[in-house]
Amino acid sequence: MLLKAINKEDLAVFVDNLIKGYDEVVGPVPKEFKYVFSKIGSSAELALDYDSTLLPPKKHLLPQREVLFSFDKADGIEIEPNLDATKRVIFGIHSCDLASIWLMDQIMAEGNADAHYLTRRKNTFIIGIDCGKPCSENSFCKSMGTLKPEGGYDLFLTDLGDLYAVEVGTNAGEELLDNGSFYPASYTIKDRFFETWRGKLHNFPDRIKFDTEKLPALLTESYNDLLWDVLEERCFDCGACTTVCPTCYCFDVFDVANLDLTSGERARKWDSCQVQNFAEMAGGNNMRGKRSDRLRHRLFRKGKYFKEKYGKFACVGCGRCGRSCLAKIDVMEIFNRLK
Amino acid sequence: MKNLEIKVENVTRLEGHGSIRVKVKDGQVVESAFDIIESPRFFEVMLQGRKYSDSAPMTSRICGICAVSHTTVSLEATEDAFGIVPTEQTMLLRKLIFHGEMIQSHVLHVYFLVAPDLLGVGSVIPLASTHLDVVRMALRLKKLGNDICAVVGGRHVHPISMAVNGFTKVPAKAELSALRERMVAARADLAATVELLKTLPLPDFTRETEYLSLKGDKEYPFIEGDLVSSDGYTFKRQDYLDHIKETVVPTCTAKHVKAKRPSYMVGALARFNNNHELLHPAAKAVAKALGLTAPCHNPFFISVAQLVETVHCNEDGIAIIDQLLARDIKMEPNTVVTKAGRGVGVVEAPRGILFHDYTYDADGYMQKANCIIPTGQNIANIDHDMNGLIPVLLNADKGEEEISKTLQILVRAYDPCISCAVHAIEVEFVK
Amino acid sequence: MKPKVAVFALTSCEGCSLQILNLEDHLLDLLGQVELVNFREAMDEKREDYDIAFIDGCATTPHDVEELKKIRAQAKVLIAMGACAVQGGLYAMRNFHDHAKTVETVYGKDMAAHFSHSLPVRPLSHYVKVDHNLYGCPMDKFEFVEVVRSLLLGKAPNIPDYPLCNECRAAENICVFDRGMTCFGPITRAGCGAICPANGKGCEACRGLVSKPFIDSHKKIMKQHGLSVEDLLAQFREYNGYWEETHEKSGN
Amino acid sequence: MHNNESFYLPQVAEVVGIKEFSPREKFFEIKMPEGPLGHQPGQFVEVSILGVGEAPISVSSSPTKDGDTFEMCIRNTGSLTNKLHQLKVGDKVGIRGPYGVGFPVHDLTGYDLLFVAGGLGIVPLRSMINYAVDRRSEFGKITLLYGSRTPSDMLFAEDIEHWKKVPDFNFMPTVDVADESWGGKIGPITRLFDDLKFDPSKTMSLVVGPPVMFRYVLKAMLAEGIYESHIYLSMERRMKCGVGKCGHCQMDYVYVCQDGPVFPYTRVRNLQEAF
Ligand SMILES: Cc1cc2nc3c(=O)[nH]c(=O)nc-3n(C[C@H](O)[C@H](O)[C@H](O)COP(=O)(O)OP(=O)(O)OC[C@H]3O[C@@H](n4cnc5c(N)ncnc54)[C@H](O)[C@@H]3O)c2cc1C
Ligand code: SF4
Ligand code: SF4
Ligand code: SF4
């Protein structure tokens, strides 16, 4: 591991240099009493001690709505793909969200690679930051194995009081170092770094009450459990949970014609497996017509399907869904009920 | 021509449904009336028993065209009832959004409803092929008015963030700066509009009447101040019932309103006549350039007064934005402590004075509500103007068609907002 | 040939009609695709040979109903614009008051007879077949464009049928429940961009409910947040009184 | 693909032939801009009209067909399919694909083939039927059980006439509701099993039909002694991207667009969301 350090007072200069040197720098900024990832114009806007953001940083890699291509049929058929190659730095991503980006990278690159995501991703530099303490009552990252990042970042900052220890994850990360006063971490700094991380692991409670390796098996057993029917009594089919989830990426594709009716665009937009007609077909057939079927499907994606396919859970334990669900349907709580 | 009967149902290019009825017998006008035939909507009853926080959103739905005016006056009435004095920031934001509505409404009226008359076409649509640049300019100006409302209140038709004692969301400085830039740029469009209006012939007709408006102290008044009449008397907002009376006319779902004389005028021209000295210098210059001098007794000059006000609102809007930018715009607590009692709000909607008068119980539930709308106040004056105008037209040997047309132009000049006019609560029936 | 379009207003605030004029950036393009033949708020011409009719407002008098039926007979496509037309909207509130008394309160005892012709407030679909709905109070002007565009292309307009929370979270609004307020978002049809929560106010369900709303769960949540049944009903009636009349005869 | 980067970009193909099978179903012959489509029997394409939308449609022709066009049969059920029905010869459509896993032609080689088609299920099956017919020597005897609602709902009349003449091809139709012209069987497709003779160890079954049909047909087939491992199905789910990203077609952990649409029965038999 390549470990560097930067003094806290030098961080602002680093960020401002990034703002000058790249097309766009995105970071956590306050929104009243919450936080959001947003493009910044100066390092002063950053709130690096944020707890969690309303939406995960996925919106900068897979935007809520994205034009896939535009077309014009006026004079033959012209089709122009929309690939966003903005040189973008996302600053200050916590380890749970980093893990979700890793997962998204696998999914989007697999089979027919999604050029729109990947173009954006290739041009995005990711600077993570450690979060110190649990960000909310609902977070259970430690149980899902995402507390300590395993790659997925170009740089990762750990707060050591007067300075940040900086892990360099990629060659691209190394290039970023030119923008600030980084120096090699001394042995003392390294010691403090490891010490901090040991301490951090203690700060985080084990919120899932069993070994999560058992989760896929427990879910399998629960397939026809009453649990799902109980949740059926509460869920609104709103999809707020999937909207805020860093690992949810389902989308709808649709055409929007301009008013000349000969030109327009094909776009995609976040969709949710929790809404009623997500899987509905012509004639009204719907394989997940019941609310409980849809809830189960979401939970199985989070705790089983992806784990079995990629070796990682598609839930990174960020707690956003639990915080955002008005019916108080909380993944952590459901997992715990499986035992 | 000795006998004449004119009936125009559903006068077009009005915000709402209105009709004209004229009867001339042996050269004498025996009947001339502008009726409002919108279905009655009974707002005052619907408001009964509702919580104070519903008053503004509900009364905003009296009229989509002056939604900001209804919202503002409703908030004023509620605040008056509870003894709440809004902060300076709130007042600045309210004035700004009010300017936005004034710009959007006046531009809509001048370009979409009046200009086609003066250019002799039936709507703005043919103008898109003959005067494309003018139409584009009109749309640009109208959009500016709308966007001012959207930045301050969330949207124009039924603003969202305006609340009792403040705002539920305040605009970001960047949004205001962006607006300011557009308002500065709009000066050119407004100047071009002035040039355009110079070329349009306004019918020459005067009839002296009473002009009623808010009374400015230091500012050209839209949402603050007592009331003033051109007849020389003033009165406090809360005392309005001592000075004006609503009456019901069987043919008309809007109530008519009178003060001392049989009729009075409210709106841009009344405001101009009573407060012209407080206009922004740029607006004064426009008035001068267009030959509008106070007192003006030609109702066809209402459109000119509207343009003068549009310029004023744009300039004053820029000044308000500068004031807001110079301070910290922050979310302020909009605490409300309810108490039993009556409150009156009065604002100058684009078409004139608008009253909301509420009585709440101690928990802030509505017991009684009354709304008096500008168009209701103008109806009697329109009737009297028609009465005065018809003989002039008859003497000039105008045919029935032309008389009818001119009367419609007259009605449109008042920009009657008919949706507003039909609502009404408790009425004092005058025998 | 361009389809001929008419815009009518029954009993309403005419805010929805105004929303069409408020489409400043699209108005000229729209006029390039359709021929506007009847729009009292904007033009003199009143032709009766329209193909597509947009109507704002609800029918509240026999005259309104007659007019509505006439429009239906002529129009190939009839579109309800805004909460009043789609679901009765705000005016349906008055169905909960005694009508004779209402007229009397407003116009006075002596004159009441002249104004007593009003009917209970009903959405357009109560009287005629409605082909498309434009939800909201006022309707969303971009949805209006979507409907026009879809009609021209002969496809179904893309109008959401899932709860507002979805859109609200995607817009990164702070949930108003987190501000200690209440909201109808969980049962209200999305499509407005969650404009009320974005402006610091709870959703008032002006777009009406999703086609399968989970009312019971929502009621529970509203009660948990301290709303009395009366206040909840009063709020609900602001735009959905007619729904209540037709769905929940029993009251709460 | 021209702008090869994004798989969402359709190729502009030309409609070179149209036949009206019924008021609801039309048959289209499509020519890709650069040579043949290059598909396997059972695969599908994403068809689009720019400005209207896109939908997954099975390729109904066999890759062994002469010429470099391919064929589809489309039922008018909504916005896009309605617009497709209005197309004329010479019009352009957008095509992406072919996508998905088709019928495992190599695993089927040497076996008797039992096709079971319910309603529109004949559309994807036709690609495999014609494949087997064109390479007649590579397969054993062929049986086609075809159930439709009424005689006039039967698609591919010309093909059927042709298949009947193919050596060792047994065509067995049934309808739910008959008319005067009908001389054949009446009743559910499972009725046809009564007259069916087959050797389970030598027979591969290919079943496509509406969701309700799967349930009872599969039950009946297993009762007849057909080996589970010798059954293939083609499934249909809502789909947006066609390539395993959008999530719509996922049944339990299986993506219909990527892992299917053709599945060995053994792969999906325990998926509750499959039936
Ligand atoms: C692998 C596959 C192969 C198919 N092959 C054929 C074929 O060969 N011939 C044929 O006629 N049809 C086929 N279909 C079905 C066809 O895709 C749908 O009928 C079509 O998408 C409807 O689109 P639309 O725009 O006309 O309808 P819309 O107006 O979009 O919708 C009408 C109805 O169709 C439903 N629907 C929307 N998208 C889909 C979808 N992707 N799949 C199913 N239902 C949907 C909607 O919920 C709605 O109820 C196939 C589907 C799949 C998944
Ligand atoms: S689980 Fe909660 S957030 Fe998700 S759809 Fe149901 S109610 Fe909405
Ligand atoms: S399922 Fe919930 S806790 Fe898990 S990653 Fe998604 S939002 Fe976070
Ligand atoms: S503010 Fe309303 S619409 Fe938004 S998430 Fe909360 S409950 Fe849902």
- The ipTM of this complex is 0.90
> How high is the pLDDT of residue A179?
93
Confidence of residue B39 (pLDDT cuts 50, 70, 90): low
**Which residues from chain A sit within 8 angstroms of residue D237, using beta carbons?**
279, 281, 287
Contacts of C9 (CB under 8 A, 6+ apart): B16, B17, C16, C17, C40, C41, C55, C56, C57
D95: closest CA of chain C, how far (Å): 19
> How high is the pLDDT of residue C235?
84
Higher pLDDT among residues B61 and B246, named by residue = B61
| Portion of chain B with pLDDT greater than 70, in percent | 90
pLDDT for B429 beyond 50:
no
Confidence of residue B36 (pLDDT cuts 50, 70, 90): low
A307: Cβ below 6 Å to ligand 3?
no
DSSP for B114-160, please give it.
IHHHHTT-SBHHHHHHH-HHHHHHHHHHHHHHHHHHHHHHS-SSS-S
CA-to-CA dists, residue C189 to C45, C95, D63, angstroms: 36, 24, 47
> How high is the pLDDT of residue C252?
39
> How high is the pLDDT of residue B253?
58
H or E stretch covering D11:
strand D11-20
Q: How far apart are the first and last CA of chain B?
A: 35
Rounded to the nearest 10°, the torsion over CA B119, B124, B130, B133 is: 110
- The minimum-distance atom of ligand 1 relative to the CA of D256 is 1
CA-nearest of C228, C233, C250, C252 to C92 is C233
Residue B51 to residue A111: CA distance in whole angstroms: 58
Average pLDDT taken over every residue of chain C: 87
Q: Give residue ranges with CB within 6 A of ligand 2.
A: A 235-241, 274, 324-325, 327, 329
For the stretch D221-230, contacts whose Cβ atoms lie closer than 8 Å and that sit 24 or more positions apart, written own/partner, are: D221/D116, D221/D193, D224/D193, D224/D196, D225/D200, D226/D114, D226/D198, D226/D200, D227/D200, D227/D201, D228/D265, D228/D266, D228/D269, D229/D264, D229/D265, D229/D266, D230/D111, D230/D200, D230/D203, D230/D204, D230/D205
A318: Cβ below 6 Å to ligand 3?
yes
pLDDT for B2 beyond 90:
no
| Portion of chain C with pLDDT greater than 70, in percent | 90
A208: Cβ below 6 Å to ligand 3?
no
**Cα A187 to ligand 2 centroid, rounded to whole Å:** 49
pLDDT for B254 beyond 70:
no
**Which residues from chain C sit within 8 angstroms of residue D51, using beta carbons?**
153
Instruction: Please write the tens of the pLDDT for every residue from A3-57.
Output: 999 999 999 999 999 999 999 999 999 999 999 999 999 999 999 999 999 999 9
Residue B50 to residue B183: CA distance in whole angstroms: 39
Q: What average pLDDT does this structure show over D253-267?
A: 91
pLDDT for B308 beyond 50:
yes
pLDDT for B231 beyond 60:
yes
HSE of A19, CA atoms in CB hemisphere, 13 A = 17
Q: What average pLDDT does this structure show over A276-302?
A: 87
- D7 in contact with A, Cβ within 8 Å: yes
- Which residue out of C19, C26, C41 would a mutagenesis test of the B interface target, given it has the greatest number of B Cβ atoms within 10 Å? C41
> How high is the pLDDT of residue B430?
29
- The highest-confidence range among A153-157, B9-13, B30-34, C234-238, by mean pLDDT, is A153-157
A202-206, B238-242, C105-109, D230-234: least confidently modelled range: C105-109
Could you tell me the two tokens for C139?
């309707």
A179: closest CA of chain D, how far (Å): 32
Cβ(C220)–Cβ(C200) below 8 Å: no
H or E stretch covering A48:
none
Could you tell me the two tokens for D71?
């064929």
CA-to-CA dists, residue A16 to A26, A43, A153, B23, C144, angstroms: 12, 6, 20, 78, 44
- The highest-confidence range among A201-215, A310-324, B105-119, by mean pLDDT, is A310-324
Confidence of residue B256 (pLDDT cuts 50, 70, 90): low
> How high is the pLDDT of residue B106?
94
A7-21, B189-203, B362-376, C34-48: least confidently modelled range: C34-48
| Portion of chain A with pLDDT greater than 90, in percent | 65
pLDDT for B268 beyond 80:
yes
Confidence of residue C14 (pLDDT cuts 50, 70, 90): confident
Neighbours of chain D (3+ CB pairs under 8 A): A, C
**Which residues from chain A sit within 8 angstroms of residue D213, using beta carbons?**
none
Instruction: Please write the tens of the pLDDT for every residue from C150-189.
Output: 999 999 999 999 999 999 999 999 999 999 899 999 999 9
Do chain B and D touch: 3 or more Cβ pairs under 8 angstroms?
Answer: no
- D77 in contact with C, Cβ within 8 Å: no
> How high is the pLDDT of residue A93?
95
Q: Which of A278, A298, A329, A334 to mutate to test the pocket of ligand 2 (most atoms within 8 A of CB)?
A: A329
- The minimum-distance atom of ligand 4 relative to the CA of C178 is 6
- The minimum-distance atom of ligand 3 relative to the CA of A318 is 8
Rounded to the nearest 10°, the torsion over CA D204, D208, D212, D215 is: 10
Radius of gyration of chain D (CA): 18
A286-290, B17-21, B172-176, B337-341: least confidently modelled range: B17-21
Question: Which of A114, A261, A285 lies at the smallest CB-CB distance from D51?
Answer: A261
Q: What average pLDDT does this structure show over B332-360?
A: 94
- B363 in contact with C, Cβ within 8 Å: no
pLDDT for B358 beyond 70:
yes
- Which residue out of C166, C178, C179, C220 would a mutagenesis test of the A interface target, given it has the greatest number of A Cβ atoms within 10 Å? C166
The three-class DSSP label of residue A256 is: strand
Buried-exposed string B321-357: b where 16+ CB fall within 10 A, e elsewhere: beebeeeebeeeebebebeeeebbbbbbbbbbbbbbb
- Which residue out of D48, D49, D50, D52 would a mutagenesis test of the C interface target, given it has the greatest number of C Cβ atoms within 10 Å? D52
Q: Could you give the maximum distance between any two Cα atoms of chain C, in Å?
A: 58
Cβ(C107)–Cβ(B427) below 8 Å: yes
C152 with A261: Cβ contact below 8 A: yes
**Which residues from chain C sit within 8 angstroms of residue D53, using beta carbons?**
155
CA-to-CA dists, residue A129 to A48, B135, C158, angstroms: 8, 54, 40
Q: What average pLDDT does this structure show over B423-427?
A: 32
> How high is the pLDDT of residue B186?
96
Instruction: Please write the tens of the pLDDT for every residue from D73-126.
Output: 999 999 999 999 999 999 999 999 899 999 999 999 989 999 999 999 999 999
Contacts of A205 (CB under 8 A, 6+ apart): A134, A142
C217 with A233: Cβ contact below 8 A: yes
**Which residues from chain B sit within 8 angstroms of residue C91, using beta carbons?**
41, 46
**Cα B43 to ligand 2 centroid, rounded to whole Å:** 38
A234: closest CA of chain C, how far (Å): 5
Could you tell me the two tokens for C128?
């005629």
Residue A209 to residue B392: CA distance in whole angstroms: 93
CA-to-CA dists, residue A95 to A7, A8, A118, A122, B68, angstroms: 21, 20, 21, 20, 47
Nearest residue of C to residue B120 by CA position? Answer: C44
H or E stretch covering B243:
none
Residue B402 to residue B4: CA distance in whole angstroms: 12
**Cα D3 to ligand 2 centroid, rounded to whole Å:** 39
The three-class DSSP label of residue C249 is: coil
Residue C85, amino acid = A
A253 with D241: Cβ contact below 8 A: yes
Residue B36 to residue B33: CA distance in whole angstroms: 10
Size of interface B-C (CB pairs under 8 A): 183
Nearest residue of C to residue B416 by CA position? Answer: C41
Give residues 14 to 33 of B whose Cβ lies within 8 Å of C: 14-17
CA-to-CA dists, residue C114 to B8, B39, C117, C247, angstroms: 21, 12, 8, 33
Confidence of residue C250 (pLDDT cuts 50, 70, 90): very low
- C18 in contact with A, Cβ within 8 Å: no
Average pLDDT taken over every residue of chain D: 90
**Which residues from chain A sit within 8 angstroms of residue C210, using beta carbons?**
237
> How high is the pLDDT of residue C115?
58
| Portion of chain D with pLDDT greater than 90, in percent | 63
- The minimum-distance atom of ligand 2 relative to the CA of A324 is 3
C153 with A261: Cβ contact below 8 A: yes
A201-205, B95-99, C169-173: least confidently modelled range: A201-205
Q: What average pLDDT does this structure show over B407-415?
A: 82
> How high is the pLDDT of residue C240?
85
pLDDT for D127 beyond 90:
yes
At A245, phi and psi to the nearest 5?
A: -80, 130
Residue B254 to residue B376: CA distance in whole angstroms: 6
pLDDT for D167 beyond 50:
yes
Residue with CA closest to ligand 4 atom 5: C165
Residue A123, amino acid = N
pLDDT for B122 beyond 80:
no
> How high is the pLDDT of residue C114?
59
Q: Is the peptide bond before D41 cis (omega within 30 degrees of 0)?
A: no
Confidence of residue B15 (pLDDT cuts 50, 70, 90): low
Could you tell me the two tokens for D158?
């010309």
**Which residues from chain C sit within 8 angstroms of residue D83, using beta carbons?**
153-155
pLDDT for B422 beyond 50:
no
pLDDT for B373 beyond 50:
yes
Confidence of residue B425 (pLDDT cuts 50, 70, 90): very low
**Which residues from chain D sit within 8 angstroms of residue C155, using beta carbons?**
52-53, 79-80, 82-83
- Residue A42 is classified by DSSP as S
pLDDT for C251 beyond 60:
no
CA-nearest of D36, D49, D46 to A77 is D49
> How high is the pLDDT of residue B427?
27
